[in-house]
Amino acid sequence: VHTLLQTLSDIVGPSHLLTAPELRARYETDCTGRYHGHAHCVVRPATTAQTSAVLAACHAHRCPVVPQGGNSGLVGGAVPHDAVVLSTERLNRLSPIDTAAAEVVAEAGVRLEILQNACQAAGLVFGVDMASRGSATIGGMVSTNAGGLHVLRYGSMRAQIIGVEAVQADGTIFGKIPGLRKDNTGYNFPSLLTGAEGTLAVVTRAHLLLHPALPHTCTALLALADIESAVILTAHLRLHLPSLHALEIFFAEGMHIVAEHFQQSLPFPEEHSTYLLVECADTTNPLAQLAAALTRPEVQDAAVAEDSVGRERLWRWRERHTEAIRSIGIPHKLDIALPLRSFPAFTREVHRQIIDIAPHAQTILFGHIGDGNLHVNILGLSPDDMTIDEAVFRLVSSYGGSISAEHGIGKTKRPYLLLHRSSEEVSLMRQMKEVFDPHGILNPEVLL
């Protein structure tokens, strides 16, 4: 390890090789506090060439490498176990926005919020947004195929990518920047690397497409009697609200936790079981469209906002869930996708099964109902006890759902991959891994 550390220090400069425990610490624990690990060192290359040299050196020493962006991932994928952490935080350059083409090139370590601000100044938007925007990076978002709040309008990260530059485990640089919006010349590497969770290559740059900014936005928080009403309303809104921009769900339990943690008074005078957050955005004011939807019989109460302060106040109920839950304890966070029609039966059964196994556990559900995506958060379990996780995954599988909608497999779900992917598919994935990384040094504990 000593020779390797010296080589890495020569490549990036001694101040960008972190070996002291207090400097490594924030790279060794994830943002939920559930996963802890140990890094031999943290290395912070500033260019693609340095990234390539770092990987070539680690490859020569057969030393495992864990790429890390903002460390906001929720499945333990960026937490090292006796590995070198390759942090992308110095790969943080953003090209000038090409307003004519509505495109931009971002290095892997550019944080989502920085990209969003640059787009806003150019009258454009980036299609993916999520509550972790202050820490999540473009490289991490490519590698997890991040979803977030606007998948129903713009698609997930995969749909935003024109080209990717990446470095293989042995240091080989590949990929085309700039890419082309249309390019059918064989296997599509950007798509393959999207969602690969850093197991095939380290992403260094991405060429991204942007969308015109929509100047009129309005947001409504709707109170509903039950999840059945939420499913009916979701189907209706998708068909009848062409300006639909976000459609989120949460429940009374989460609402109370947020109210308590942030000392906010509840938004409605009465108690309700289920809440939908609906956002519309368009080139003309979509308020009339949204108001028509609010007359539906499923809506028991509603709060509407058009100005940014009021809209942000409504969004907080949804976006503050993660922080409020974290303030109570370390949650098990399961991110699942289901056919929309299964939501009512699944939510009832998941609560019942969790209580049967762990009577003191607290279950908080929220998610992106517009994409059939629920986040199952369970408090009161020990971090390593996977009994409930497995029961939930099996339940999801019985409904034809996915054990990961958007967070990835990481370390947490690795033993359960076969609940959703066939053995033939997993075998093909292993063969691909072998081609890209024959010595298995890239994220060896993740995905496969």
Ligand X SMILES: Cc1cc2nc3c(=O)[nH]c(=O)nc-3n(C[C@H](O)[C@H](O)[C@H](O)COP(=O)(O)OP(=O)(O)OC[C@H]3O[C@@H](n4cnc5c(N)ncnc54)[C@H](O)[C@@H]3O)c2cc1C
- Which residues contribute to the site for ligand X (CB under 6 A)? 31, 66-74, 77-78, 88, 108, 130-132, 135-137, 139-141, 143-144, 146-148, 197-198, 202-203, 322, 406-407, 443, 446
Paired strand residues for 98: 103
Distance CA 236, CA 296 (A): 9
Nearer to ligand X, 105 or 299 (CB): 105
Paired strand residues for 247: 278
Nearer to ligand X, 65 or 302 (CB): 65
Nearer to ligand X, 91 or 299 (CB): 91
Nearest approach, Cβ of residue 136 and ligand X (Å): 4
Nearer to ligand X, 211 or 296 (CB): 211
Nearer to ligand X, 141 or 334 (CB): 141
Across 2-16, b (16+ Cβ under 10 Å) vs e yields eebbebbbebbeeeb
Nearest approach, Cβ of residue 287 and ligand X (Å): 26
Nearest approach, Cβ of residue 37 and ligand X (Å): 12
For ligand X, the nearest residue by Cβ is 140
Nearest approach, Cβ of residue 28 and ligand X (Å): 12
And the tokens for 217? 């936005």
Nearest approach, Cβ of residue 125 and ligand X (Å): 16
Nearer to ligand X, 34 or 407 (CB): 407
**Residue 265 CB burial class (10 angstroms; 0-12, 13-18, ≥19):** exposed
From the list 244, 243, 280, 156, the residue with the least C-alpha distance to 208 is: 156
Q: What is the 3-state secondary structure (H, E, C) of 291-357?
A: HHHHCCCCEEEEEEECCHHHHHHHHHHHHCHHHHHHHHCCCEEEEEECCHHHHHHHHHHHHHHHHHH
Nearest approach, Cβ of residue 250 and ligand X (Å): 13
Please, are residues 133 and 113 in contact by the beta-carbon 8 Å criterion? yes
Q: How far is CA 115 from CA 20, 132, 163, 239, in A?
A: 32, 13, 17, 31
Nearer to ligand X, 48 or 229 (CB): 48
Nearest approach, Cβ of residue 212 and ligand X (Å): 23
Query: Nearest 5 degrees, angle CA 388-CA 391-CA 393?
Result: 110
Nearest approach, Cβ of residue 430 and ligand X (Å): 17
And the tokens for 8? 């890495």
Distance CA 273, CA 55 (A): 51
Nearer to ligand X, 272 or 366 (CB): 366
Distance CA 40, CA 201 (A): 20
